[in-house]
Amino acid sequence: MTEFIRKAEKVWEEFKDYVPTYDEVCEILEKEVVNIEDVAKLLNVEDKNSILLMASKAKKLTRENFGKVILLYAPLYISNYCQNGCVYCGFSCRKNYKREKLELDEIENELRSMKEEGIDSVIILTGEDRIYSPVDYIKQACKIATEYMSEVSIEVYPLFEEEYRSLANAGVVGITIYQETYQKEDYEKLHPFGPKRDFEFRLTAVERALSAGFHEACVGPLLGLSHPKKDVLCTLLYAEYLLDRFPKAEISVSFPRVRSAGLDFVPIFSVSDKEFIKFLIVARIYLPRVGIVISTREDARLRDALIDVCITKMSAGSKTTVGGYATQEEKDAQFEVEDRRTVAEVVESIIKKGLRPEFTNWVRGVGSL
């Protein structure tokens, strides 16, 4: 299972100082199939003309495989109780603020408000606390969500396979889970205590979910917590592994950048807009059939530019507080939202690009895994 991490480390070490020429970039982009060594080279490209050429290739591959559809979704945080001591997260138990969870009737009110805004695809989120946010609570929330939304996914703590199966039976189709970083030594420093400290259990969560009947999975790191290029390489190899093992599943990747969360954490690595764009473009070139997701962690300008190149799914009108759709009161958030546009405004920007916004994933759940 961790073979892909070792492979990424080896490739990165071999090519970390290698900067391809423009002609070599052209040769790579002319290939029918790009290998991981080519990816390592493309991640080091700095020349503007080379990056523009890569973007053109990425756009072509996106249109060929996904057409002009941009899937939209929104997150619903139902609880911020957490037992983890993550040094970077706004839900960390190291942070002293009022914890809360939504009652089932409040969850329904939030979903109703989301639906009124036009949202039809939701991700249910919690902190990691099996006492205040047990699996049965998550399951009940998801059952309610299926009454309002065409698609329900989760972004919660790692579960056992039987627990994922019970959620699949309740109508949940997808899982999003970020490994934060695939560099285990850094991971342990960033997660000094709590159940999340178990690197392997988190890493294998997606396989348990897909084995239990989920149809979709989104994986990735939180860029800035460790070496970004190594984490990108790991993510791409992991997504490729999942595609091979679960050929009927829809696999997506996402590369959120760490944002302020009201803690004194300062990332060791920074990821510029240029680097961020390059990571997404390279992801499309290496994995043409994999979805690429961008959240409201990124600003409107950058999101609008990228949806025309490589993005297939994006959040809209997001709230990163517990609730926040039915009530507008100020609360502590998991992270700062950069794109604060309404759902209608995001839809308008997509249409102006000549693309088609969709809230329903019409190809989900086809066949059994």
Q: How confident is the model at residue 101 (pLDDT cuts 50, 70, 90)?
A: very high
CA angle 78-83-296, nearest 5°? Answer: 45
User: Residue 367: pLDDT band by 50, 70, 90 thresholds?
Assistant: very low
Cβ neighbors of 352 (< 8 A, separation 6 or more) are none
Tell the burial category of 44 from Cβ atoms under 10 Å away from its Cβ (0-12, 13-18, 19+): middle
The predicted structure's pLDDT at residue 268: 86
Q: What SS3 state is found at 124?
A: strand
Answer whether CATH 3.40.50.880 is correct for domain 2-358.
no
Long-range contacts of 159-162 (CB under 8 A, 24+ apart): 159/135, 159/205, 159/208, 159/209, 160/208, 161/208, 161/209, 161/211, 161/212, 162/212
Q: Determine the average pLDDT of the residues in 105-132.
A: 96
Structure tokens at 80: 């911020």
The residues that bridge with 101 in the sheet, in sequence order, are 79
More confident residue, 91 or 181: 181
State the pairing for strand pair 69-77/121-125: parallel
The domain ranges of the chain are 2-358
Among 311, 273, 278, 251, which residue's Cα sits nearest to residue 39?
Answer: 278
* pLDDT over 90 (residue 332): no
**Percent of the chain whose predicted confidence (pLDDT) is above 90:** 84
Q: Per-residue confidence at 321, pLDDT binned at 50, 70, 90?
A: confident
Least confident of 60-69, 172-181, 298-307, 314-323: 314-323
**What are the tens digits of pLDDT across the range 288-310?**
999 999 998 899 999 999 999 99
Q: Alpha-carbon torsion 164, 170, 173, 176, what sign?
A: negative
What does R_g of the chain's alpha carbons equal in angstroms? Answer: 20
Question: Can you give the pLDDT at residue 241?
Answer: 97
Beta-strand relationship, 216-221 and 250-254? parallel
Whether the per-residue pLDDT at 338 is higher than 90: the answer is: no
CA distance 222 to 259: 9
What residue type is 20 in one-letter code? P
What pLDDT score does 266 carry? 85
Angle subtended by helix axes 135-148 and 104-116, to nearest 10: 30
The closest alpha carbon to 261, from 72, 74, 84, 78, belongs to 84
> Which stretches does DSSP call E strand in the chain?
69-77, 121-125, 151-155, 174-180, 216-221, 250-254, 291-294, 313-315, 356-358
Distance separating alpha carbons of residues 203 and 209, to the nearest angstrom:
12
The number of C-alpha atoms within 13 Å of 368 and in the hemisphere containing its C-beta is: 2
Task: Report how far residue 63's alpha carbon sits from residue 289's, in angstroms, rounded to the nearest whole number.
Answer: 11
Determine contact, residues 124/154, Cβ cutoff 8 Å.
Answer: yes
pLDDT of residue 369: 35
The structure tokens listed for 69 are 């559809």
Instruction: Say if residues 202 and 221 touch (Cβ distance below 8 Å).
Output: no
Q: What is the pLDDT of residue 96?
A: 81
Provide the percentage of residues in the chain whose pLDDT is more than 70: 94
Dist CA 236 CA 240 (whole Å): 6
The predicted pLDDT at position 368 comes to 33
